[in-house]
Amino acid sequence: MSVFNPSEHPHRRLNILTGEWMLVSPHRTRRPWQGKTEPASSGQLPAYDPTCYLCPGNTRANGAANPPYTTTYVFTNDFAALLPDGPQGRLENGLLLATAETGICRVVCFSPNHALSLSQMELADLELLVGVWQAEYQALGQLPEINHVQIFENKGAIMGCSNPHPHGQIWAQQSIPNEVQKKSAQQAAHLQKTGRSLLGDYLEQELALGERIVSENGHVVALVPFWAIWPFEAMIVPRRRQADITQLRPAEATAFAAMIKDLSGRYDRLFDTSFPYSAGIHQRPTDGREYPEWHWHMSFYPPLLRSATVKKFMVGYEMFAEPQRDITPEMAADMLRR
């Protein structure tokens, strides 16, 4: 029998933030860049599109007109998944249970320039965007009916993005979502056991090992998590423990903006394409509790596998058992570093 080597042999890895396991099968794909690579669409977007409902001055689908904005612009989603004034109620019938949910959904136009993505924006504009995220999180989280604020971006048509204009969303709601509850429980258990931050301890170990670090600066680190599911999944983690992004000091906010630009640029260069992904910031709920265990972080889940057009889908075993990947997180981190 050979000695177990996680870079060669099938194994499972634990996600310490959720308590869930995933399967790694490195023997199936020794060199992830081998295989067919097809050219991606190279169509260049215009800086302004008169048909885009997010461009400055244009009319949206509901008839409202955007102002001639020149920087980040935020408005309430015209087709929101959550509504602020819905009736409260509960349906319970044997094993059937449903509860009413209310909330506020906001759209954040990152830039007035239709052609840009986060990797192409100027650092000063990304700093403004981080400031907008902080202000929205604080303002929405102070509302008595809001107990959680989720900031996220879906980039690219494959991720369900209905408009190429650079934008993200914020969903603020009454309930605390499943993923956040799991991460709260795992972080709280570690704090109770050790008196320290779970992600702080994890980051210290990753920095010592170095093999999954993608990029770092004085205040934040980008890495491929040991338990990453998506082929080039990555996470931005602040070195100093902060429960939410409003606790960023000015220099830390600048460093966070710079790392978003750095990481998203690495994605674009990986397969020479505007890299699709879903990205989101996980931070403490806004229900009034302190949550001393929380260490905020931003995760990126991109679906591309071997080229700009070869994608990873969660199918079969992954839908019925648990997530699985062939490219190890270490291989992905090495490619992103380079």
* Structure confidence at residue 34 (pLDDT): 47
Tens digits of residue pLDDT in 125-179: 999 999 999 999 999 999 999 999 999 999 998 888 889 999 999 999 999 999 9
Token representation of residue 185: 């429980």
CATH number of 40-337: 3.30.428.10
Tell me, what's the pLDDT at 32?
46
Residue with tokens 């270490």: 330
Question: What is the pairing mode between strands 220-223 and 234-238?
Answer: antiparallel
pLDDT of 35 reads 44
How many whole angstroms from its chain centre is CA 329? 17
Q: Which residues pair with 105 in a beta bridge?
A: 171
State the chain's mean pLDDT as an integer.
94
Between the CA atoms of 228, 232, 238 and 244, what dihedral angle is there, to the nearest 10 degrees?
A: -70
Q: Check residue 1 and give its pLDDT.
A: 62
Active site residues: 167
Does 33 score more than 60 pLDDT?
Answer: no
Residue 36 has a pLDDT of 46
What does the pLDDT look like over 66-123, one tens digit per residue? 999 999 999 999 999 999 998 999 999 999 999 999 999 999 999 999 999 999 999 9
Q: Which of 1-10, 49-58, 207-216 has the lowest mean pLDDT?
A: 1-10
Question: Which tokens sit at 129?
Answer: 């965007």
Q: Is 133 exposed, middle or buried (0-12, 13-18, 19+ CB in 10 A)?
A: buried
Q: What is the pLDDT of residues 300-321, one digit of tens each?
A: 999 998 888 888 888 899 999 9
Confidence band of 42 (pLDDT split at 50, 70, 90): low
What predicted TM-score, i.e. pTM, was given to this entire model? 0.94
Please, are residues 306 and 313 in contact by the beta-carbon 8 Å criterion? Answer: no
Predicted confidence (pLDDT) per residue in 234-293, tens digit: 999 999 999 999 999 999 999 999 999 999 999 999 999 999 999 999 999 999 999 999
pLDDT value at residue 153: 98
Instruction: Return the pLDDT at 39.
Output: 56
Q: How many CA atoms lie within 13 A of 219 on its CB side?
A: 16
| Backbone angles phi and psi of 332, in degrees to 5 | -65, -45
**7 pLDDT more than 90:** no
Is the pLDDT at 43 greater than 90? The verdict is no
For 104, the token pair is: 């506020």
* CA angle 50–53–57, rounded 5-degree value: 65
The residues spanned by each domain of the chain are: 40-337
CA 336 to chain centre: 17
Q: What is the 3-state secondary structure (H, E, C) of the chain?
A: CCCCCCCCCCEEEEECCCCEEEEECHHHCCCCCCCCCCCCCCCCCCCCCCCCCCCCCCECCCCCECCCCCCCEEEECCCCCCCCCCCCCEEEECCEEEECCCEEEEEEECCCCCCCCHHHCCHHHHHHHHHHHHHHHHHHHCCCCCCEEEEEEEECHHHCCCCCCCEEEEEEECCCCHHHHHHHHHHHHHHHHHCCCHHHHHHHHHHHHCCCEEEECCCEEEECCCCCCCCCCEEEEECCCCCCHHHCCHHHHHHHHHHHHHHHHHHHHHCCCCCCEEEEEECCCCCCCCCCCCCCEEEEECCECCCCCCECCCCCHHHHCCCEECCCHHHHHHHHHC
Per the CB < 8 A criterion, the answer to whether 245 and 282 are in contact is: no
